Each structure stands twice: as C-alpha cells, then as structure tokens.
Structure 1
Amino acid sequence: MDGILNVYKEKGFTSHDVVAKLRGILRMKKIGHTGTLDPDAVGVLPVCLGKGTKVCDLLTEKQKTYETILQLGVTTDTQDLSGKVLSEIEVTASKKEIEKAISMFCGKYMQIPPMYSALKVNGKKLYELAREGKEIERQPREVYIYNLVIHKIDMDLKQVYLKVDCSKGTYIRTLCHDIGEKLGCGGAMLELKRTRVSDFLLQDSYTLSEIELLMNQGRLAEVVIPIDKLFEQQKRVVVSSEYQKYVDNGNKISRNFLEEPVSLEIGEQVRVYDSNKRFIGIYQSEKLQELKPVKIFI
C-alpha cells in the first residue's frame, strides 16, 4: 500500500508511537511520519506508507497551522505547563498591550529552539541533555509567522487563545514563551492542536481506532491519499507505450516521447505517467527538450 494517511494524533502519543501502532494495524514496516508533535499535543499528522515515504521530507517542509492557548504569568523549563515551574509573575499588561506584543511576532522571527526538543547537538538530542540537567547554547533559527490571530483573551484566567500559521521548524511552545517575555510576565503553552499541514486538514483526519476499523472492514484504500495528489499543481504528461522502458529504468526522457506535446519552461517540474496512467514520478524540464527524473515512485 502506497500513499499518505491523514492521522489525528491523540494526546499521550508521540509521533513515533503513532508509526509503531500503524505498523501493527496495517501489517507493514515501511511507514514514516512527517514531523513530530509533542505527546501532549493533538491534531494533524500526515503519515506516509510504502513508496509514499519518499515524500516525507517534502511534507515536513510545508506550512502548518496551529491553535494554542498561551498561559501568561508563568514560565517552565519545557515552555509548556507539563514542565517544572521556574517563575510566577503577576500579569499587569492590559488587553491592548497583550495584543500589541503578540502582533510584533508576525513575519520573520529569530527563534531559539527549546532545550526540550528533538534537535541534535553532537549526535545527542537536546531533550536528553535537558533531562540530565544540562543546558547548552542554541543558535537562533529563522522561522516565519505568516498569520497570528487572537481568538480570545481571558483577562481573568490570563489566557490567550491563538491561531498560528507558520513555517517549518517553528516551536509554538517557544512562541508562547517569547510573547510572555515580551510582556515581562512570562508565558507558557497550555494546549496545542495542529489543524493543518499543507492541504491536510483536521476535519479530514482519522484516529488510530478509526483507521483500524477501516482496515478490518477492508475499506482503508478509501482514505489513503494517492502520492500524485500532492503534486496536482504541476502539469500532467503521459509517456507513449513504445517508450515505456525509459521510465521503467529511471532514464531521462525526451519531450518527443510524450503522447501530447506540452510547453514547458526550463526548470519546470511535471507529473509523469505511463500509458497505463500509472504515476511514475516528478521530472524536471532541461535544455535539449529533455525531462530529468527528480523523484521516482515506481
């Protein structure tokens, strides 16, 4: 089975737990996830199956959307409320001051990764060092906040409900922490839900128990997204049957091999199919009317 499953990761599971459970449910080994979610977080986790694992890196790069609750007035060692409380400070900022501070994080943003993260330094994950009581210097990384919407500010509970559209590599825990620092009272993430990864939406996701039920009913294929669906924005071309051996062997192909002529810019990528409408992979236009394979899925 090849393709992508839009999994709803439930609270308490790591992303690796989800993959391990799916290996048992689907009775297959070649499965990979497309970016970690904290155990306490919930939401969209695209999981790649079979030849679909070749697009794991592509999906990891995609834009994501989160809904989170920021708790003001507290800082923790993990930057969320699961961690050890380091400080508690009275929140004196007004609603307008909170709104202004949050708005300052839109756009390009240099973010220091948290110690409790899976990033590696000298072959060791940061969270492993953190659990040993060690803290090391981390270099800021550029991330991008495309949109930051305040759904609600509860001044009694000192909680802010946010929707965040962001680039890959953005830590929402750290964003909450940094907003709290900007306000001078500290902040930590209370809840996190990922509602979108590229075109994979929360409302279209399935829990592990729902996936298991579909598998037992022989209906899993109904929810597995074909690999070529990810490349729908690219032109579709079909190779004539007499040139089948070229695509089967992963060779470059001439535009003359195509069933229908197509106008392409140098460097433009296309979806290539054989005469049986089987998806072969992504090719890129080169000089001399050639198409070079970029990623093959057969």
Structure 2
Amino acid sequence: MHGFLNLHKPFGWTSHDCVAKTRKLLHLKRVGHAGTLDPAATGVLPIALGKATRLLQYLPGEKAYTATIRFGIRTATDDMEGEIIAQQPVINLSLATVKTALTQFCGKITQIPPSYSAIQVQGKRLYDLARQGEIVEAPARVVEVSDIQVLDWREGEYPELDVAISCGTGTYIRAIARDLGQVLTVGGTLAKLQRTSSSGFHLAESLTFSELETQLQTATFHPLLADQPLQHLPLITLPSINAKKWCQGQRVAITESELDTNQHLRVYAENGQFLGIGKSDSQLLIPQMVFESFES
C-alpha cells in the first residue's frame, strides 16, 4: 500500500502516536507524517504510506489553523497544557485594540519558538531539555504569516479571541499567542488549536481513526494517490525510451525551455504513470526520487 492518508488527529495524541496507530491498523512498516502537531492540537495530519514516505520532503509547506487565544495568562509552554507562570484579570481590553496589534503578525515576522517544542538545539529537542529542567531558548527564526482573520471575541476577566491563521512551514501558533499577549502587555497563551489544512490536505476530507477503521472493516479504504498532494510542482512527461532510462537513475535530455534550473518536477510517462520527482538542470532531467519503475 502506497499513498497518503489525510488523518484527523485526535486531542491528546502525539504525531508519533498517530503514526504507530496507522502502522498497526494498516499492517505497514513504512509510515510517516508531515508537519508535527502538539498533543493538545487536533486536525489535519498528513500521513504517508509505504513508498510515499519518500515524498514527504516535496509536499507544499502552507498550513492553516483556527486558534483560540486567552489573554491574562502566561504559561511555561505557551498553551494551557503547561504550568501557569503569570495570571491577572484583564481590564479594558477591546477588540479594536487587539485587531490593531494583530497587524504586526502578518507577513514575514521573526519569532522565537516555544521552549517546549520539537526543535533541536545541539542535537537535543527543546521539550526534552525542558523536562530535564534545562530551559534553552531556541534561536529566533523568520516565518511567514499570509493572513489572520478574527472569527470571534469573548469578553470577561480572561477574554478570548478566535482567529483563522494561514501561514508557512515552521510557524508556531503558540508563539503568536504569547507574543500578541506581550504586545498588548496583558499576557496571552494558546487555549485551543485545530489545523484546518496542511500540505494540500483539508479538514473536510480528513478521516478520524474511527472512520478509518470502519472503512478498513468494509474494505472501502483507498489511500490517496501518491502524486495527489504534489500538484504545486510542475509536470513533465517523458517518452517511453527516456522514461525507462530515467527510472534506472539516468539523466535524460529535455527540451522544455521554460523550466527553471534546479526546479523540482513531477515526472510521468506518456501512459500517465507517475514515476517520481526529478530536478531540471539546463537541458537535463535528473532523478531525485524514483517512485516506481516504468511499465511499458
């Protein structure tokens, strides 16, 4: 079995838990995921099956979330799963003020990832260091947030803001919640997070584990085609003689003049068979990942 599963990750599960469960249900050894989700987050978790695990690096990086930010509280993990380190009721915070502050978080922004995160520093993950009592600040990184929309606003001692966020890979929504609270000088933390799309997979088409098990029991489960989430890459079709050579690891000549050098491409045979991923180099197509041999 080779392809992708658009999984709706449940609350409380790690991404590793989801891979292990999928491996057990499908009786597969080769299973991987794209875009780690925190245990407290739910939503889209792309799962690669079989040979499709080798395609994970080529998936698009765009992601979208709905998030709830709670003001007046700061935690060690920048979400409600961690120890509260500061808490004070918020007075006179208006939605208009929040909206003005939110404009600082659109476009290319610099953020410091949460101390409890999967980022590695000197070969060790930050959450492992934090659990050992060693708090290490991750290096600041530049990420891109393409859009933030306010969905709802609830007043109270600890007001809450619901937002929809579209962003690029590497963006921490927990960091946005923390930094927004800091800009407003009231503190903030992430109270709820759901990923609505990731790497071309969308929540509306995702499967829960319960739905997956039902489909497996009724023999109606079919993985998504391996090339389905790769539509952002340009396509090139090879004649049969070149398709065979390319699948054997050989560079083949191409005539497409509009291709950029070092551009990744989806490679197909004339019969429509998906062959893998290639990279253009002048007038040559170089194999990067041969998904399957050409069937003439």
TM-score, normalisation: structure 1:
0.90
Deviation, 1:79, is 0.8
Residue 198 of structure 1 pairs with residue 199 of structure 2: yes
Tell me which residue corresponds to 2:267: 272
Paired letter, 2:13: F
**Contact 1:264/1:285 (<8 A) preserved:** no
Q: How many residues are aligned here?
A: 289
Deviation, 1:147, is 0.5
Tell me which residue corresponds to 1:178: 179
Tell me which residue corresponds to 1:146: 146
CA–CA distance in 2 between the matches of 1:47 and 1:151? Answer: 29
Tell me which residue corresponds to 1:84: 83
**Contact 1:71/1:160 (<8 A) preserved:** yes
**Contact 2:58/2:230 (<8 A) preserved:** no
Paired letter, 1:208: F
Deviation, 1:209, is 1.7
Instruction: Output one character per residue of 1:217-256: Cα deviation in whole Å (capped at 9) or x when no partner.
Output: 22222xx22122233345544433445541331211233x
Q: How does 1:238-249 map to 2 (within 5 A)?
A: 238-243=237-242, 245-249=244-248
CA–CA distance in 2 between the matches of 1:233 and 1:148? Answer: 23
Tell me which residue corresponds to 2:276: 281
Tell me which residue corresponds to 2:36: 36
TM-score, normalisation: structure 2:
0.91
Percent identity, aligned pairs only?
A: 36
Deviation, 1:265, is 2.9
**Contact 2:145/2:165 (<8 A) preserved:** yes
- Structure 1 gaps of 5+ residues are 256-260
Paired letter, 1:200: F
- Structure 2 gaps of 5+ residues are none
Deviation, 1:12, is 1.2
CA separation of 1:81 and 1:29: change in aligned 2, threshold 3 A = same
CA–CA distance in 2 between the matches of 1:34 and 1:95? Answer: 35
Deviation, 1:274, is 3.0
Tell me which residue corresponds to 1:258: none
Deviation, 1:263, is 5.4
CA–CA distance in 2 between the matches of 1:237 and 1:105? Answer: 38
Larger mean Cα displacement after TM superposition, 95-104 or 178-187: 95-104
CA separation of 1:249 and 1:65: change in aligned 2, threshold 3 A = same
CA separation of 1:275 and 1:50: change in aligned 2, threshold 3 A = same
Q: How does 1:114-129 map to 2 (within 5 A)?
A: 114-129=114-129
Q: How does 1:209-228 map to 2 (within 5 A)?
A: 209-221=210-222, 224-228=223-227
Tell me which residue corresponds to 2:168: 167
Tell me which residue corresponds to 2:102: 102
**Contact 2:147/2:165 (<8 A) preserved:** yes
Deviation, 1:135, is 1.3
Q: How does 1:40-59 map to 2 (within 5 A)?
A: 40-59=40-59
**Contact 1:106/1:146 (<8 A) preserved:** yes
SS across alignment from 2:133: coil
Tell me which residue corresponds to 2:23: 23
**Contact 2:119/2:138 (<8 A) preserved:** no
SS across alignment from 1:54: helix
SS across alignment from 2:164: strand
SS across alignment from 2:70: strand
